[in-house]
Chain A
Amino acid sequence: MTQYILRRLIHAVFIVWGCATLVFVLIRLIPGDPVIQMLGAEYSPEAAAALNRKLGLDQPIYVQYVRWFGSVLRGDLGGSISSGESVVGALKSGLPKTLSLTLLSFLIATVIAVPAGILAALKRNTAVDYAVSVIAFIGVSMPSFWFGIILILLFAVRLGWLPAIGYASLTEDGLWAWFSHLLLPSLAIGAGYAAILMRFIRAGLLEVLGSDYIRTARAKGLAERRVLVRHALRNSLIPVVTIAGIQLALLLSGAVVIEIVFSIRGLGRILVGAIFDKDYPIVQGAILLVAIIFVLANLVVDIIYTFLDPRITYG
């Protein structure tokens, strides 16, 4: 197992290196001179030369690449063109918001999906099962940003129960303020994720419930509840962990767009703002950071998986 974890670690390092390279290449693929685009109306030959020097674009490409990679390793992603602030500083201010949003939406989705999936499997081919399936289909089909607007319309505008926009810090404003500001956006992001998890939990549990060892457990005279919790559920949830990891991208993608809807200045809002400002160092940094978060999250899920399922041998 140690060997497997080590291999996964090496794989993750490789992917992060690849992501950094891809982001480096991406910015250099901008048609025309990127410096002219970045400067826009403020273009002058002197300003262009200064920016070229600042970004190291006057160096040969391999020097640029080595420098870029060295900077990434040191955690230095340069400075923002528009504000002059360091890219790392700008991203650092947005990271807690995006992570809070992603984590809370993961929790909400799990709280919805696990009981709903189990219920659908246990009440197979009944009205409950069909209702869960229909809701799951709708969940995967609606855009999270639209669902976010609907939630604002209902819970903030009509009912006035929760704030419509903004973010409150957990440390400065307290738990309730933090939670109440994040509840609607997290629900908007988590709905699609919950729908996918729900379907996998239902399918996994149905498969396990039909297996021989469940029949044996029942034949032994175990209480149905014990059969379900101790035998069926534990085994059926193992593959769900993998799916949960793979689909984390959905939460991160959702967070990027939902931050615009709810005016939360997280990584997504910073990224989109930087695109409109043609602030490419920020764009580079934000894309790389999100990719790294995703790769690391999946690494953690993979490692958890090895502990959850001791039957699997990793060749």
Chain B
Amino acid sequence: MSVINSTLNRRRFVLAATGSAVGVLAAPAIVRAAEEINLYSSRHYDTDEALYANFTKLTGVGINRIEAKADELIERMKAEGSNSPADVFISVDAGRIERANQENLLQPVQSEVLSTRIPLHLRHSDGSWFGFSKRARIIVVSKDRMDPKDAPSYESLTGEAMKGKVLIRSSGNIYNQSLMGSIIMAHGSDGAADWARGIVANLARSPKGGDRDQIKAVAAGEGDVGVVNSYYLGKMIKSDQKAQREAAEKVTLVFPNQADRGTHVNISGGGVARHAKNKQGAIKFLEYLASDQAQEYFAAGNTEYPVVAGIPLPSPLDTFGDFKEDTLNAQLFASLNSEAVQIMDRAGWK
């Protein structure tokens, strides 16, 4: 009996202790001071810590963060409604930020700084969101087994010569969906469907893994040509792991479609939340992201391309060289997301 009693008492004690701990934690979900902004962000890079810390240092405005996938953050903001604590929403692609806008979760802002510094095609026409960094959807080819001249464009990947050589991740990936959106804009729905079928027919393996996996697979010889985001290549070159650097060294970077519309670029963008409690702070933060200093953080920290012209590129971005980008407005290809998914489904792009 005594054994049982002592166990029960212990359990009661633990229960009480945990109960009170939970109570303390639950009550003040957020303590909002005047000089804070709340960030709902799908950026998840360690290097952003310095970016945010610098903002607080410059302005005295603190930053609270929830970092999660954009789709789910959108659902959370919808559920929270007019009491949502979010001041700023940040995504890592145009598709999601435009969706947040269409769900009426963002509000247009007028800012001289933002509209002069950020190019027209990288922001929403009414100021609902702005792109702050760019990632180019580049082609990587094997240094040993392929001439970069043979893969000059996205379209060249569907040619007969590429059979069994192409590596690209799944159609569930948003960067492929956005790329597909830009292909629809360039070639129409039927042309885009042909392109998707051509890619599927030339795949070296069924789509899997992430962007780094495609680069590693090209390096190892599982395929000869891959489609990836530029910043992954940059980060592999900068990696402190030998295997990553070696894989990156075995591929050559190609900026596709330099002879015509330019390389597809996606953005990481942000906007002020519809029910922002600290709208002024939110605008201040967005303007900060467009500042020279913040733009340098994007480039140096995460090897993303700055959106503001004239920012010096750090290594290894400076070695990549200049390229012509597709100036199709991000708003447009983002709005084609659903059609893009359906085309890829029909083409059998897993």
A in complex with B = no
Interface set of B (CB-CB < 8 Å, partner A) = none
